[in-house]
Amino acid sequence: MTKLADLPRAETDSLGTVQIPAGAAWGTQTQRAIENFPITGVAINHYPEVVVALAQVKAACARTNAELGGLPPKKAQVISKVCDEIIAGQHHEHFAVDLMQGGAGTSTNMNANEVIANIALAHMGRSFGDYVALHPNDDVNCSQSTNDVYPTAIRLATLAKTRPLVAAMTGLVAAFRSKAEELNDVIKVGRTQLQDAVPMSLGDEFRGFATTIAEDIDRIVELAKLLTEVNLGGTAIGTRINTPKGYSERAVAHLSAISGQDLSPASDLIEASSDLGAFVMFSSALKRVAIKLSKISNDLRLLSSGPRAGIGEIILPAVQAGSSIMPGKVNPVIPEVVNQICFQAIGNDLVVTVAAEAGQLQLNAMEPVIFYKIMETMTTLTNGMDILTERCVIGIEADRTRCAELLNGSLVLATTLVPLMGYEAATKLAKYAQAEGLTLRDAGAAQGVPNSLFDEIA
């Protein structure tokens, strides 16, 4: 027998009646958004950081409204209680709107408003949809607009996502540095433009990888600070309409305490409501990390190429079979997947750039795709660096025999002869060795160069 609780419920808004699935804590605007935007299949709860950030914003606003007389204390308390539950990880399944949506984030904001209202109603002993007792717009969204809630929440979510990104970068740097110490004594051929250049240590090569990533940790941390300036309290376009005096400053102070982030109200709320320059800068820093990481992955693939017909100076951990037809083949799959992650990040930065440019007048309606692409980039870069560290870099070994073979068979030591015999003489010797297929030392013997000269550079 079907129970009443198992049946869909009907809710009515200005556009008509909507059927809400049984047990769903959302309301009409969320349901319409679910039906209107089946775009990516990625709901906002795919990124718990944004669900938590929305609850943090709503809790800060409820407390501020209670202090300034915008909400009765009992309503503010039950709203805050539900927000605390969401922050603790409860009720996230009800945040079901697709990340990609029209409306400048209105569907996301209303998803939060409706879920918080309905869960609060349940705490009050009332049924979902009994909005006379507590209303999504009038109460949960009191003194707010999507146009200040959504930008504030996505900034908070991005800041939260920065922590694991920086941790992944730090771990990768540590792995490269450790590997550099391990391989300090391995002398090999250094190359420029894919041509033999000068001798170097394999340890120095890996130390360079570490420095390349390490210097961007500070850049990411610095640029993340741009996201700590928020427009909460500006409401629709930054004019503070429908907010009591002092609301913005007090709400941001509450939000700082709740989130643990050192936030500040934007000095110009109108500008802050439409300008997304902070996201452009931050996305650009992510792209910079991706470019560097991809270059390193290219190098790891080249250095490990072979195992017998390539460079083959390093051996990557074998993590899976490389072919369905070629026996024994092992591919550099971890650097390969990191390359692909980086290509995606570079493309996502272009999306952020054009979306930020697409703002018009007092609002940028393209914020959802900006947030979506930044979160996607941060997630995949974080996961990619963790995997690169754990399943590749830590287990890399040097093929010491191959490094010595290539070094001794190359002409790179000719450069170190320049201070001893001059550029022209060293060039002549190198060309002779190349033409005759000799080592540099053997060519020197044939040309009458003292063997002691080679002992000085060995």
Summarised one tens digit per residue, pLDDT across range 190-211 is 999 999 888 999 999 999 999 9
Contact 22, 104 (CB under 8 A): no
Q: Summarize pLDDT for 386-438 with one digit per residue, the tens.
A: 999 999 999 999 999 999 999 988 777 777 878 878 888 878 887 887 888 88
SS3 of residue 399 by DSSP: coil
SS3 of residue 411 by DSSP: coil
**Containing H/E element for 11?**
strand 9-13
Catalytic residue among 323, 324, 410, 452: 323
Domain residue spans in the chain?
A: 21-142, 154-230+268-397, 411-457
- Judge whether 127 counts as a catalytic residue: no
CATH architecture under which domain 411-457 falls: Orthogonal Bundle (1.10)
CATH topology of domain 154-230+268-397: Fumarase C; Chain A, domain 2 (1.20.200)
SS3 of residue 234 by DSSP: coil
Helical residues (DSSP H) of 21-72, grouped into ranges = 28-36, 48-68
- Using pLDDT thresholds of 50, 70 and 90, give the confidence band for residue 3: very low
**Containing H/E element for 400?**
helix 400-409
Residues of the chain with pLDDT > 70: what percent?
A: 97
**Containing H/E element for 398?**
strand 397-398
Contacts of 232 (CB under 8 A, 6+ apart): 57, 60, 61, 148, 149, 152, 248, 251, 252, 255, 265
- How many other C-beta atoms can be found within 10 angstroms of the C-beta atom of residue 103? 18
> What pLDDT is stored for residue 328 in this prediction?
77
- Using pLDDT thresholds of 50, 70 and 90, give the confidence band for residue 250: very high
CATH architecture under which domain 21-142 falls: Orthogonal Bundle (1.10)
Residues of the chain with pLDDT > 90: what percent?
A: 81
